[in-house]
Structure 1
Amino acid sequence: MSRTETAIIELMEGVVPKIKQTGKYAMVAITKHGVEMARSLKKKFPEADLYYMSKFAHGDEEAAGIQLFNGSVRLLFPALFPAYEGLILFISLGAVVRMIAPVLKDKKTDPGVVVVDDRGQHAISVLSGHLGGANELTREVAALLGAQPVITTASDVQKTIPVDLFGRRFGWRWDPDSEKKLTPVSASVVNEEHVAIIQESGETDWWMHDTPMPPSLKIYDSIEAAIEASPDAALVITHRILRPEEMPILENGVLYRPKVIALGIGCNRGTAAEEIESVIKDTLNELRFSIWSVKAICTIDLKKDEAGLLSVCDKYGWEFVYYTPQELNEMNIEEPSETVFKFTGAYGVSEPACKRYSGNEKLVLTKKKSGNVTISVGILA
């Protein structure tokens, strides 16, 4: 921390600054040069809110949506951390480390933090490089300022797979039981140990670098083949629940759940969310499919306000898609029903809705009736 910044922080204690969030990111500056750079960056970075000290006011702040403060910049951070996805700080690195220390929680919730030096020569990824997105934010800020990005995360430096972010841009998530393996598997990846990759479903264009995969990462056609090769670690991408004989691959492995399962649902009006959820869980367990790989519930537009369906989708963060009877009748179905047509105008609901959304003419489960619920299951084409 420079003497100037220390003096600023010490003199500006006492008034708690207020924030008004409108964007995804916050920029904060406490020096004259920092303010000028931040003002320039804001014009190119519309998703960012800008905060700086009143002593550097230009007079156009209200019109420009810039927020001024008179208290200590230190007092901003308890409000900024939970409000924003990322922070871009025109403050020295040492000062930032000291000021954010009291508000740190964990890498799942802390925002990405990027520090820019007072001359705009370097943009530094400081906190939450992966999960918080600081590394990508650092590259973007550096490009806009003409600065040098400074990123120290091993997987980024080595241009390899970031285990804790693998597939996130596609909506993949790791299975909850795999979370404890993220750190040791990451170590195997960056230490260039033998890491097996087995993919049974999901997007295949996950390699993001402009260089070939390192030879330590090896793709196998099956879990059985990977187990036979005795890797040091493994990355497994599948919607399936693994069989007992396949579980050894996860002794030092992370299991990823791609969003590939479509559920076609029909139900009686007023069916409780608990019943719908129970049918879904029971059906997926019978198929040995993971609930974490479900992407959407699909139905007829008559059900677009069905409280039980909306509640289940909201609970799991699933897409809720509905089609008109005409759209459903365009699909080929195995068991068209005159009774269903009489009440809905469609010859089926769960089966054609699932086929239309998944883009797959062949469903894993064509149709099953259970109580008030009818369910179909498909895998995205």
Structure 2
Amino acid sequence: MKIGLISFTAGGYNLGVRLCGSLEAAGHEAGLVRCGDEQLGVWTAEHFPGDNALIFIGAAGIAVRAVAPHVKSKTSDPAVLVVDDNAHFVVPLLSGHIGGANELAGAVAKLLEAIPVITTATDGGGIFAVDTWAVKQGLRIINPERIKRVSALLLAGETVGYRSLFPVVGTPPDGLIENTKKYDLSITFKTKGNPLALRLVPPILTLGVGCRKGVTAEELERGFAMLLSKASFYREAVVQVCSIDLKAEEPGLLEFCRANGFPFKTFSSAQLNAVKGNFTASEFVRKTTGTDNVCERSAVLGSGGTLLTRKDAGNGMTMAFAMAPYWVRFTEE
């Protein structure tokens, strides 16, 4: 975690030096500055969008005024903490669950032998925090506005039905019960289902791509969007793109991956031929590339899982999806 620390007094700076060292020893990237009010706005504007967490050593009001102009969304804002100069209290102000402020506050309090002041309702009541759990599981939250309903039901002592397309490991927390017909929580990679349910999507899909020389990123994007729509898959479920090594330097394919933030992996024809399974074979592709199918084989090999969609071809491109093995875990592991 990249953490920016800022202090305003000599005592606060000394505390920050100690805390910074402890955070770095714990594996974090931490940086500390001491500044006056005239530098606060500049520092906050620089660190708010780029750091995972900000720690203000001083008065809570200073932190509130500093970050207020930059607050956008609970899904993207960094964790914001305040520590008083005497290290008595650690208070998470922003992004307690998704941003990890509550968990970081607990860790900082332990390092300083301070008291963490956690004010979020679920934590205070010992209730399952679905957004914290989702982040720890690496799930992508499609509609964060629905978090409130799930938390409100649990806080009221009511039952929340959940539906999962994946096997479940461990015992669900109190208040959660599997219900495939009436549910407010859905763990899925498909866009179909109850639109009012909180939707959590694991990044488990690999897109396999074969393409002609000179294909553009725009053409690939259109084909990708069409296949997602046809298959009813969430874009957020896609974790990487794979192809044959002959396409390792294909400009349009590289730009498509960069634009979407997808890692790009390639395999040799020998590696692709070694993949076991029933694939859509093409003699033309075999003569051209050395393997009878690029998109399906590369998707399966890259995912380490199973083929979900057969070759979708058009405009000199082929695409297919494969899914990695996945389990929903309600354990602490």
Shared topology, TM-score over 0.5?
yes
Q: CA deviation at 1:129?
A: 1.3
Q: Quick one: distance in 1 between partners of 2:303 and 2:85?
A: 52
Q: How does 1:57-72 map to 2 (within 5 A)?
A: 69=35, 72=38
Paired residues, number: 319
Aligned to 2:295: 350
Aligned to 2:243: 299
Distance change >3 Å, CA 331–CA 106, structure 1 → 2: closer
Asked if 1 retains the 8 angstrom alpha-carbon contact of 2:75 and 2:144, the reply is: no
Q: CA deviation at 1:319?
A: 2.9
Q: Quick one: distance in 1 between partners of 2:240 and 2:67?
A: 39
Asked if 1 retains the 8 angstrom alpha-carbon contact of 2:296 and 2:322, the reply is: no
Counterpart residue identity of residue 358, structure 1: S
Q: CA deviation at 1:123?
A: 1.4
Higher relative contact order (CA 8 A, sep 6+): 2
Distance change >3 Å, CA 204–CA 144, structure 1 → 2: farther
Q: Quick one: distance in 2 between partners of 1:340 and 1:294?
A: 25
Residue 213 of structure 2 aligns to a residue in which SS? coil
Could you report, residue by residue, the CA deviation over 1:111-161 in whole angstroms, capped at 9, with x for unpaired residues? 321111222122111222123321122122122222222211122333444
Aligned to 2:102: 135
1:120 aligns with 2:87: yes
Q: Quick one: distance in 2 between partners of 1:126 and 1:288?
A: 38
Distance change >3 Å, CA 358–CA 102, structure 1 → 2: closer
Asked if 1 retains the 8 angstrom alpha-carbon contact of 2:89 and 2:115, the reply is: yes
Aligned equivalent of 1:111, options 78, 81, 89:
78
Could you report, residue by residue, the CA deviation over 1:142-186 in whole angstroms, capped at 9, with x for unpaired residues? 2222222221112233344434444234442233xx344332333
Distance change >3 Å, CA 169–CA 308, structure 1 → 2: farther
Aligned equivalent of 1:200, options 132, 156, 165:
165
Q: Quick one: distance in 2 between partners of 1:239 and 1:41?
A: 41
Listed as ranges, the gaps of 5+ residues in structure 1 are 1-22, 53-68, 228-232
Listed as ranges, the gaps of 5+ residues in structure 2 are 326-333
Q: CA deviation at 1:310?
A: 2.4
Distance change >3 Å, CA 299–CA 78, structure 1 → 2: closer
Aligned to 2:30: 48
1:213 aligns with 2:206: no
TM-score by length of 1: 0.74
Counterpart residue identity of residue 56, structure 2: L
Q: Quick one: distance in 2 between partners of 1:99 and 1:282?
A: 43
Could you report, residue by residue, the CA deviation over 1:226-258 in whole angstroms, capped at 9, with x for unpaired residues? x2xxxxx6101111232xxx53xx44x212222
CA RMSD across the alignment: 2.8
Asked if 1 retains the 8 angstrom alpha-carbon contact of 2:208 and 2:295, the reply is: yes
Q: Quick one: distance in 1 between partners of 2:51 and 2:153?
A: 32
Distance change >3 Å, CA 319–CA 241, structure 1 → 2: same
Q: Quick one: distance in 1 between partners of 2:7 and 2:39?
A: 9
Asked if 1 retains the 8 angstrom alpha-carbon contact of 2:100 and 2:132, the reply is: no
Q: CA deviation at 1:49?
A: 0.9
Could you report, residue by residue, the CA deviation over 1:45-86 in whole angstroms, capped at 9, with x for unpaired residues? 23111112xxxxxxxxxxxxxxxx466464443444334321
Residue 87 of structure 2 aligns to a residue in which SS? coil
Q: CA deviation at 1:269?
A: 1.0
Distance change >3 Å, CA 312–CA 156, structure 1 → 2: farther
Residue 130 of structure 1 aligns to a residue in which SS? coil
Q: Quick one: distance in 2 between partners of 1:377 and 1:72?
A: 53
Could you report, residue by residue, the CA deviation over 1:280-312 in whole angstroms, capped at 9, with x for unpaired residues? 333333333333322222111221222322233
1:38 aligns with 2:16: yes
Aligned equivalent of 1:82, options 45, 49, 62:
49
Aligned to 2:184: 234
Q: Quick one: distance in 2 between partners of 1:159 and 1:313?
A: 42
Structure number, greater radius of gyration: 1
Q: CA deviation at 1:87?
A: 1.3
The percent of aligned pairs where both chains have the same amino acid is 32
Aligned to 1:359: 304
Aligned equivalent of 1:184, options 131, 145, 149:
149
Aligned to 1:313: 257
Q: Quick one: distance in 2 between partners of 1:174 and 1:90?
A: 31
